[in-house]
Amino acid sequence: MRAQLVRASALIVGAAVVAWPLGYFAAAWAGWALFSVGLVAQLLFQLRNFSRLERWSRDPVLDASLEGEGDWDNVFGRLYRHEKEMRGVIARRDAEIRMLISAAQALTDGVVLLDRHDNILFCNHTAEDQLGLRVAVDRGQAVVNLVRQPEFAAYLEGEDFSKPLTLRSERIKDLVLSIYVVPYAENNRLMQVKDVTQSERLDRMRRDFVANVSHELRTPLTVLGGFIETLQEIALDRDEQAHYLQLMGEQSKRMLTIVQDLLTLSSIEASPPPTYETVDMVTLLDKLRRDAEALSGGRHRVFLDSDGCGDLRGAEVELASAFGNLLSNAVRYTPSGGSIRICWRADAAGAEFAVEDSGIGIEPAHIPRLTERFYRVDRGRSRDVGGTGLGLAIVKHALSRHQARLDIRSEPGQGSRFAAVFPPSRVIGV
Ligand code: ADP
């Protein structure tokens, strides 16, 4: 700045030095005129560079057009370099922000950033789906106006975020969310939204399971207790005693069957994934047919429909248990005189083990629920035929461990077809 002042003063002094002799020796006005011309030229020079700077500052472009004259060139040079640096800094910040946003978008949990008044600053795609938000239109809106469940508003208002809020979605059926709120940047809040539908479902299943097991065991135990009391308190003759003891035997057998089925289920669940040992289907099918005939005791006609082709790879015990359950159901739910057909087909596309019966059949509404533990179409009937409600749960579990699925077709009064469908990876010898 000092150099510029010295230079500007030198120019004025130079103009005066040239103009003074002219004014002194020729005419005063000529001297003043020459001095003024010098000053005006100086002013025009500065104005021209200033207007160039002013024009550029309105739309600063990064090209070589930013050139000044004299000292102005240095000023322009410094401005150019500063502008370039600033643009670099901004570009780097932009890239960082974009990266943070894409990291937030990649999160499987929902994230919502709120300002001090609980207005939305940002939310990721997961939170948009979970809470029905659209950040493009909802930014700046109060979150409680968009998530309108009263318990959510009360939770935010309560300011006690030591425990998460469990929210059952009103928009999406069965969706359960767990909402955590963490304060950040002074009074702002970060909302983390976890989808806990699955763990809630498992929790409920566990509770239902314990309740079901207790209920299933309580009934025979109560009956057994009643018989014991009767035997203790009433003097019965030998025939009556024998009758009571037989009924007690039935109840204890029933409890044993339930416990055995529970143990089978838990051992299938606990054991490692089935290996690829070969299961000889000709031998297994023959054994299954004989077992079914024994169980039927001649009340049904049992057929085996197989070309003997192909074997399975997997855990023989589990597969035999699954197939055996399907057959015992067919025997138990087919009235005397009916027929039961065991079908086996295997080719390069996979294999199918099916049990067809001409029994009582099942209403369509029940079919999707048959493999649930303790689910029975007719509880009394199942109990009468010695059912526990666990057979098809065991079947489903054993099959899914072999990447197989259970296909159920049935018509009430006509009969049923339960088929285990295996993928090619589980079939050999075709
Ligand atoms: P359960 O021990 O009661 O037989 P399952 O899990 O094996 O239990 O079967 C569940 C229910 O599915 C049975 O209670 C019965 O109502 C129905 N079901 C199973 N197999 C058949 C079948 N072959 N024909 C008709 N109903 C069947």
Ligand 1 touching residue 376 (CB < 6 A): yes
Burial (CB count <10 Å: 0-12, 13-18, 19+), residue 383? middle
Cα 389 to ligand 1 centroid, rounded to whole Å: 7
Predicted local distance difference test score (pLDDT) of residue 133: 95
Nearest CA to ligand 1 atom 20: 329
Residue partners of 328: CB distance under 8 A and separation at least 6: 292, 295, 391
- Nearest CA, atom 16, ligand 1: 377
- For atom 11 of ligand 1, the residue with the nearest CA is 376
pLDDT of residue 18: 87
Q: What is the pLDDT of residue 258?
A: 93
Question: How many Å lie between the centroid of ligand 1 and the Cα of residue 395?
Answer: 11
Distance of alpha carbon 124 from alpha carbon 120, whole angstroms = 11
Mutation test of ligand 1: which of 362, 394, 409, 414 has the most ligand atoms closer than 8 Å to its C-beta?
A: 362
Greatest CA separation for the chain: 163
- Annotate 284-353 with DSSP letters as a single string: HHHHHHHHHHHHHTTSSEEEEEE----EEES-HHHHHHHHHHHHHHHHHTS-TT-EEEEEEEEETTEEEE
**CA-CA distance, 147 to 161, in Å (whole number)?**
18
Q: Which pLDDT belongs to residue 64?
A: 62
User: Which pair of structure tokens corresponds to residue 132?
Assistant: 């029905």
Q: Is the CB of 362 under 6 A from ligand 1?
A: yes
Give the whole-angstrom CA distance, residue 3 versus residue 188: 52
The parts of the chain modelled with pLDDT lower than 50 are: none
Nearest atom, ligand 1, residue 355 CA:
23
Find out whether 62 and 84 touch, Cβ atoms under 8 Å: yes
Q: Rounded to 5 degrees, what are φ and ψ at 215?
A: -65, -45
Decide whether any atom of ligand 1 lies within 6 Å of the 143 Cβ: no
pLDDT at site 67: 77
Query: Can you list the alpha helix ranges (DSSP code H) found in 125-237?
Result: 125-131, 135-138, 143-146, 150-158, 197-233
pLDDT given for residue 315 in this prediction: 93
Q: What does the alpha-carbon distance between residue 37 and residue 304 come to, in Å, rounded to a whole number? A: 122
